[in-house]
Copies of this chain bind each other. A is one copy, B any other.
Amino acid sequence: MLKITRKVEYALIALRHMQQSPNNSVSSASQIASKYGIPQHLLAKILQQMTRDGLIQAVKGPTGGYKIKADLKKISLKDFFEKLEGPLGLMDCYFNTDCLQMKACNILSPIQKINQNMRDMFSKTTLLEITQ
Q: Which residues of A contact B (CB under 8 A)?
A: 1-5, 8-9, 12-13, 16-17, 20, 35-38, 77, 81, 85, 88-92, 101-107, 110-111, 113-114, 117-118, 121, 125, 129-131
Pick from B2, B88, B91, B103: contact of A88, CB under 8 Å: B2
Taking a contact as CB atoms under 8 Å apart, the answer to whether B107 and A130 are in contact is yes
Taking a contact as CB atoms under 8 Å apart, the answer to whether B2 and A90 are in contact is yes
Question: Which of A9, A88, A117, A129 has the most CB atoms of chain B within a 10 A radius of its CB?
Answer: A9
19 further A-B contacts with Cβ under 8 Å, apart from A12-B111, A36-B104, A117-B125, are A3-B92, A9-B91, A12-B107, A13-B102, A16-B107, A36-B102, A36-B103, A36-B105, A36-B106, A37-B101, A37-B102, A37-B103, A38-B102, A77-B114, A110-B130, A111-B130, A113-B129, A117-B121, A121-B121
